[in-house]
Structure 1
Amino acid sequence: MTERIPAINSEQLQQQARELKFYGLQAHWQEIEQQHYPLLASLLRWESDERQQRSLQRRLNNARLGRFKSLAEFDWQWPEKIDQSAIHALLQLDFLSTASNIILIGGNGVGKSTIAQNLGHQAVLQGHTVLFTTAANMLNDLAAQDGDNALRRRLKHYAHVQLLIIDEIGYLSYSNRHADLLFEIINRRYEQGSTIVTTNRPFGEWNEVFPNAACVVSLIDRLVHHSEVIAIEGASYRMKEAQEQAAERQRKTTKKQAGKKEAAK
């Protein structure tokens, strides 16, 4: 069956060739167009589609989102408090156009990371550059840089993506040096790029996360100035799943033992 080629005129084809930077093709456009117009249209479309797919795969790899559950599978009934409509609205990614931040606050296992990863994935699909990292990995990476030049390169690595996701602020405490580095990242991204932060601590407790750090107030001020804060309350869903799995294993063990006893009679 012959593939149907969408109607497209010569000017549109030439624009595609320019966008793809096919300089040799452009130089010999007249002779190629006259002799191979249907093939030309297909070749340009195939090349464009392949480049888009490779770009998507590259951005997905660079985002380092890891494995995560789709929001289609998310149990919205489990948290005691969660604004489902607000989270679905965030999937439209309007916050990226205004360089606004998203702060997800809640206890362990309530879905903060899952929501952040889904937002990151949607951003990648829409053509944005994304990077997902835990606070510990990012701050330890920055603190380990040997020399000013190396540090500047790593700061640029985190500061220049269109969407930076910093997971798990609050689970560990950090030195003043780590606090200064986080402030530097947030300050560089301030009104320039969007940041999603997940934390188990309200901002009033961040002085315990960064004890004695002078920049905490300024850090929080820049982070929340253009932001949407979403609080999630409830017990750990991971704990619920672990308990259900343990109960299922116990049920199977009991059934197996009962079968052995019955066979021994």
Structure 2
Amino acid sequence: MTISPNSPDSLLRRAQALHLSGLAEHWGEAAGAPWVPALLQWEEDARAQRSLCRRIAQAKLGRFKALADFDWKWPRRIDRGAIEDLMQLRFVKEAVNVVLIGPNGVGKSTLAQNLAHQALVHGHTVLFKPAGDMLGELAALDSDSALRRRLRHYAAPDVLVIDEVGYLSYSNRHADLLFELISRRYEKRSTIVTTNKPFAQWSEVFPNAACVVSLVDRLVHHAEVVSIDANSYRLKEARERTETRAGKRRGPKSGGEAAS
């Protein structure tokens, strides 16, 4: 039997969960008051909004184009159904990873940011970090205790987005740190990775690193891998902006010019 959220017992539990101790202590007097359900709902909504704003700030997603504005016709190949299914967030509940592979400028980061934002809206913790920044920060730590604390920081979010793996080359130390982080999150939390390199070329990203095969194996064991084949959308937008500005500079021909 379903218990109504506005039954006296449910209302009391909601007041206690909100730590409204004064209301809970005087429950016998307030239980039947018509304003109690509205008061609790207002407080729950306000706290949920504050929590969302706090988690969005902590996630550091930056600005991004909404999925509704994504140009699905531009890529030569993309599994739109897979992306839309990922937006249902089952991958977060199942601790499945997501890897978005494709050349520069095709929207991998935008898709990752949309997935991350969807997770935030549904109450999950998220952190978005460029691979170069994260690995550089970890490698620069000069004490084991500081490194352990920072690894715990990156291992903690429900969803960790590691953006732009493959745009730089890294040392064996960086490879070991990424392997350690992926291992800490393995089968526990979801990691989203964007990369411009197919896995066969990751040995070029981490030259001579012994752990590359194990790193890829651990990352993709439980993963949805989406490949995107397209020319750079950023270059397309840049050309369109240039053409628009050039058109404005030329302007419409005057009547005299048209008649000459």
Assess same fold via TM > 0.5.
Answer: yes
Partner Cα distance (2:150, 2:251) in 1:
56
Match of 2:216 among 214, 220, 223: 220
Q: Counterpart of 2:7?
A: 9
Q: CA deviation at 1:49?
A: 1.1
**Runs of 4+ deviating beyond 6 Å:** none
Counterpart for residue 99 of structure 1: 95
Code of the residue aligned with 2:54 in structure 1: it is R
RMSD over equivalenced CA pairs, Å: 1.9
Unaligned residue ranges in structure 1 (runs of 5+)? 1-5
- Pairing 1:67-78 to 2, within 5 Å after superposition: 67-78=63-74
1:7–1:136: structure 2 CA closer, same or farther, 3 Å change rule? closer
Report whether the alignment pairs 1:130 with 2:130: no
Could you say which residue in structure 2 is the equivalent of 1:29? 27
Distance 2:199 2:6 in 1: 55
In 1, Cα distance between equivalents of 2:67 and 2:15: 39
Please tell me the residue identity of whatever aligns with 1:14: L
Structure 2 stretches lacking a partner, 5+ long: none
What is the aligned partner in structure 2 of residue 45 from structure 1?
A: 41
Deviation (angstroms), 1:147: 1.4
Q: Which residue of 2 aligns with 1:83?
A: 79
The amino acid of 1:123's aligned partner reads: A
1:20 to 11, 18, 21: 18
**Secondary structure at the counterpart of residue 24 of structure 1:** helix
- In the superposition, the TM-score normalised over structure 1's length comes to 0.91
Cα distance in structure 2, aligned partners of 1:206 and 1:8: 55
Identity of aligned residues (%): 59
Contact (CA 8 Å) 2:5, 2:11: kept in 1 or not? no
> In the TM superposition, what whole-angstrom CA distance separates every residue of 1:54-104 from its partner, at most 9, and x where no partner exists?
011111111111111111111111011111111111111111121111111
Give the residue type in structure 2 aligned to 1:33.
A
1:164 correspondence with 2:160: yes
Paired positions, count: 255
Residue 108 of structure 1 is matched in structure 2 by 104
Partner residue in 2 for 1:55:
51
Cα distance in 2 between the residues matched to 1:205 and 1:226: 20
**Aligned to 2:176, which of 166, 174, 180?**
180
Match of residue 245 from structure 2:
249
Q: Does 1:205 align with 2:176?
A: no
Deviation at 1:144, TM superposition (A): 2.0
Deviation at 1:245, TM superposition (A): 0.7
Provide closer, same or farther for how the CA distance between residues 250 and 205 of structure 1 changes in structure 2, counting only shifts above 3 A.
same
Instruction: String of CA shifts for 1:98-118, please: whole Å, max 9, x gaps.
Output: 111111100011111111110
TM-score by length of 2: 0.93
Within the candidate set 127, 142, 150, 2:138 is matched to 142
1:7 Cα deviation from its structure 2 partner = 8.5
- Return the alpha-carbon distance in structure 2 between the equivalents of residues 43 and 56 of structure 1: 20
Q: Distance in 1 between matches of 2:161 and 2:93?
A: 16
AA matched with 1:143: A
Instruction: Please state how far the C-alpha of 1:40 moved relative to its aligned partner.
Output: 2.7
Q: 1:7 to 1:234 in 2, by over 3 A?
A: closer
